[in-house]
Amino acid sequence: MPRPKEKIITFTIDGIEVQAPENSMLVDAAKHGDVEIPVFCYERKLGNPVGACRMCLVEIEGLPKLQTGCSTPVKDGMVVHTLSERVETAQRGVVEFLLINHPLDCPVCDKGGECPLQDISFGWGGGVSRHLDAKRHFVKPLALSEKIAIDRERCILCYRCVRFSQDVSEDHQLVLLERGAHSYVATFDGHPYQAPFSGNIVELCPVGALTALPYRFRARPWDIEDSGTVCTYCPAQCNVSLTIRDERVLRALARENDEVDNGWLCDRGRFLAEEVHGPARITSPMVRDGGTLRPVSWDRALQQAAGILRRAGQRSAALIGGQATNEEGFLLSRLMREGLGSPHIDSRPAGRLPLHLLRQLSEPCLQAKVSDLEYADVVLLLGCEPQLQMPILDLRIRKGIRHRKLTLVVASERKSALDRRAALTVRYAQGRGEEFAVALAACLSPEQRGDVERLAAEAGCDLQSLAKICELLRGSRVGVGSSPAGEPAAGQEVVILWGEALTSGDDRIQTAEALLDIAESLNLHQIEGAGLLEVPSGANLRGLREIGALPNAGPGLCEPTVAAGEADRREGGSRIASQEEGGLGFAEICSALAAGELTAVHLLRCDPLADLERPEAWHQALAKAGVIAHAAHLTEGVSLYADVVFPAESHPEKEGTVVHPDGRIQRLRPVIGNQGENRPEWLVIADLALMLGLDLQVDSAPSATAQLVEAVPFYEGITLQEIGGKGVRWQEREAAAAFPSAEGARAR
């Protein structure tokens, strides 16, 4: 679907000529001329305005009555007055009306000092009220949920929270009960407000009616500072502004980035303070002594870890989890390959894919952006659940359906939160996502893939459902012109949102090839706004792949450098030598540890028992190995088997870069100091390498960033300044031409 093109028009406001996009709402257009129109109910992210509070009344020449600026689109030549006597009288009246029952408890209100009602009362109010009667009172506060409290007497009935529940998250739980002066916000059934995005209503509230219980009475605006960073709890990598007081994170607010999160946060990312400062947090290095992990000095922990790796040498392995930064993964890869001569490093829990397939799945021309989910003609969810795995994408898809008439197709093995909004839902058998992808590719290109009916039966779905999916993907739907058989409609933008788990089974190579065949059949690589978008199982797994944290790929998805002594090791004829492409992956490392062929494993933000399949096998593997772990909490695998534990940083403490699943490189900035005795993980890896005789030549996180940018050809020239606060997609830079070609033809 073509992106709306902006036509710039000129209008006059308070005697100032202003240029703004045509049909933008007056309150937004006025900002182009540095004119502020006060609002309460209006919020651009909520969609169409409702004009409920009347605070934005303005005078427009040619119209007899005052108009609401939030619901009036600007037109060329329009003349607007916001400072006339009529407007000022109306605005003073609205403020006076809103304050009739508002309790004026600013000294104890959490919103005090950053409250739009306060600001507007001072800027546009009369300063005197004619209302002498007693104000209404309610029991306060009431728990709207376990995280949110509501003070009903402060509510000005702006509808923002209700509109978010009804129109954005579409959970339909919040409503206005009663009528007139007795109206109040509540859940429709009286039950607690339980939703994955409920915390957004606290930030939307323009007064102190909705407050977050973890932040309630914790700070005043003059006690705090806000610092921006990126949340790494999931692959959505939302931009956040963290409220800090005395080196503690008190709350998280959205830091709007339309290309990433559209200004929303999920509740896990919003209510993060308990994890950052919780009592279970590891804040000092630990060593296993007498079967128990005990806190020790950094020197002893580093020496013991270096001893484990030195004894293991080439028989060491490293597993990297999704919360590691690019810099940490890059330095650990260097430590393993250059310092120990071991190629056994992996960050892809789904399993090894041949290098040419990794490259083809990451080709710049095939990568969809997050915003494409909103503007595409068709979005196919294939083997993923956005609300659980990458929550903000759920809101983006719903927005596309509401505002852009997006057609959604859901293909999964279980019910999805988006089923009710889908034009078509298809279920395949449990664990048969790989077979379904192959069957869909066959349905789109039967001459290449063979017996579609047999493949559909293997996937546990019916042939008719597959045919309907193909019709929608090719554009055979109302409003889209017909197209020749076997060809997609001209300009049909299709985004396939697929889960990494699809390529985790024994048939993952065939599944990856099927995904590429689907993309080729739909010409996704030739259509702007179309493509593939992977939902990885960890926040930064795309970045870790690109910087070479894989057994069969080096930095930039190039051929891995053979470590010193590698050729001799291959001559040994052991199970390790059976891997033809580089080192061992997750599953092979598990087997080699259990067999004693590998004797040490370095876990960087990865607990195999919690994060990976086959926990029974990992119990046996870890029990026989020397285990070094970077962890923020004592998870099962760390507490049972780690010989050395280095305390890991949370994302508010980290400095470094991560890569969004759509290729956007984003910057993590430390907003608080390291907790307890924590040290940056890049520094721990550098110190460990130095003890093993390898000088990584990094003295700061930016120097590590510079190293990896130099090592990855298609990152060439990227600087931290260019990344800035919004990030940069490497596919949109000239250096993207250095992306390695996919060598090796795929089997047809």
Picking from 291, 232, 340, 350, the residue whose alpha carbon sits closest to that of residue 602 is 340
673 pLDDT band, cuts 50/70/90, is very high
Closest C-alpha among 231, 411, 382, 342 to residue 694:
342
Q: Which of 502, 509, 511 is nearest to 383 (CA)?
A: 502
* 297-302 average pLDDT score: 97
pLDDT band for position 563 (50/70/90)?
Answer: low
Tokens of 501: 């788990």
Those residues whose C-beta lies under 8 Å from the C-beta of residue 59, and which sit 6 or more positions away, are 66, 67, 80, 81, 82, 84, 86, 87
The 10s digit of each residue's pLDDT in 105-123 is 999 999 999 999 999 999 9
Per-residue model confidence as pLDDT tens digits over 394-410: 999 999 999 999 999 99
pLDDT of residue 489: 53
Question: What is the enclosing helix (H) or strand (E) of 339?
Answer: none
Secondary-structure percent of the chain, ordered helix, strand, coil, rounded to 5? 35, 20, 45
User: In the prediction, which pLDDT does 562 show?
Assistant: 56
pLDDT number for residue 572: 42
Token representation of residue 173: 């739980």
- Which of residues 741 and 725 earns the better pLDDT score? 725
Give which of 710, 711, 712, 720 is closest to 667, Cα–Cα: 720
| pLDDT score of 743 more than 80 | no
What local confidence, expressed as pLDDT, does residue 522 receive?
Answer: 95
184, β-bridge pairs: 177
Instruction: Give residue for tokens 């709207």.
Output: 144
Buried/exposed code over 628-661 (b: 16+ C-beta within 10 A; e: otherwise): bbbbbebbebbbebbbbbbbbbbbbbbbbbbbbb
Crossing angle, helix 452-459 and helix 463-474, to 10 degrees?
A: 110
Question: ∠352-744-367 over CA atoms, to 5°?
Answer: 65
CA 394 to CA 461: how far, in whole Å?
Answer: 25
β-pairing verdict for 16-21 and 8-13: antiparallel
Pick among 3.40.50.1820, 3.30.70.20, 3.40.50.2300, 3.40.50.970: CATH of 131-277? 3.30.70.20
Q: What are the structural domain ranges in the chain? A: 8-98, 131-277, 286-349+540-654+677-697, 356-535
User: Which pLDDT score, from 0 to 100, does residue 159 have?
Assistant: 94
Secondary-structure class of domain 286-349+540-654+677-697 per CATH: alpha beta
Give the integer Cα–Cα distance in Å for 278 and 249. Answer: 11
User: Does the global pTM surpass 0.85?
Assistant: yes
Render pLDDT for 492-548 as a digit per residue (tens, 0 to 9): 899 999 999 999 988 999 999 999 999 999 999 999 999 999 999 999 999 999 999
- pLDDT at 567 exceeding the cut of 50: no
Question: Do 703 and 650 form a contact (C-beta atoms < 8 A)?
Answer: no
Does residue 631 have a pLDDT over 60?
Answer: yes
Q: What are phi and psi of 218, to 5 degrees?
A: -95, -25
DSSP 584-650: --HHHHHHHHHHTS--EEEEES--HHHHSS-HHHHHHHHHTSEEEEEESB--HHHHHH-SEEEEPPP
CB atoms within 10 A of CB 344: 28
In angstroms, the CA 266 to CA 236 distance is 10
How does residue 582 score in pLDDT terms, banded at 50, 70 and 90?
confident
Alpha-carbon distance of 150 to 454, in angstroms, equals 57
Angle subtended by helix axes 508-521 and 433-444, to nearest 10: 30
Token digits of residue 215: 């932040």
Confidence at residue 181, expressed as pLDDT on a 0 to 100 scale: 78
Predicted local distance difference test score (pLDDT) of residue 2: 72
Check if the beta carbon of residue 481 is closer than 8 Å to that of residue 467: no
Phi, psi at residue 322, to the nearest 5°? -70, -15
What is the Cα gyration radius of the chain? Answer: 28
| Cα–Cα distance, 461 to 427 (Å, whole number) | 6
The span from the CA of 373 to the CA of 380, in Å, is 10
* pLDDT bracket for residue 569 (50, 70, 90): very low
**Is the pLDDT assigned to residue 131 strictly greater than 90?**
no
CA distance 566 to 264: 48
Are 156 and 103 in contact, with CB atoms under 8 Å apart?
no
CATH topology assigned to domain 8-98 = Ubiquitin-like (UB roll) (3.10.20)
Average pLDDT, the chain: 92
Distance (Å, rounded) from C-alpha 1 to C-alpha 477? Answer: 14
Sequence-ordered list of residues with C-beta below 8 angstroms from that of 460, at least 6 positions apart, any chain: 427, 428, 429, 430, 432, 435, 436
Predicted local confidence at residue 104, as pLDDT: 86
Mean pLDDT, rounded, for 615-622:
95
Assigned CATH for 356-535: 3.40.228.10
Say how far residue 589 (Cα) sits from the centre of its chain. Answer: 29
Least confident of 59-73, 565-579, 603-617, 691-705: 565-579
Task: Report, as an integer, the average pLDDT of 450-465.
Answer: 90
User: 18-27, 184-193, 571-580: lowest mean pLDDT where?
Assistant: 571-580
Q: Which helix (H) or strand (E) holds 421?
A: none
Q: Phi/psi at 175 (nearest 5 deg)?
A: -145, 170
Provide the pLDDT for residue 476: 52
Q: Decide: residue 590, CB within 10 A, 0-12 exposed, 13-18 middle, 19+ buried.
A: buried
- Residue 7 corresponds to which tokens in the numbers above? 């036509």
| Least confident window among 130-134, 169-173, 288-292, 645-649 | 130-134
Please name which of 99, 182, 194, 103 lies closest in space to residue 141, comparing C-alpha atoms.
103
CB distance 244 to 224 below 8 Å: yes
Per-residue pLDDT at 229: 96
Please report which confidence band the pLDDT of residue 136 belongs to, taking 50, 70 and 90 as the band edges: confident
- Residue 534's φ and ψ, nearest 5 degrees, are -85, 145
Give the phi and the psi of residue 294 in degrees, each rounded to 5: -130, 145
d(CA 529, CA 516): 17
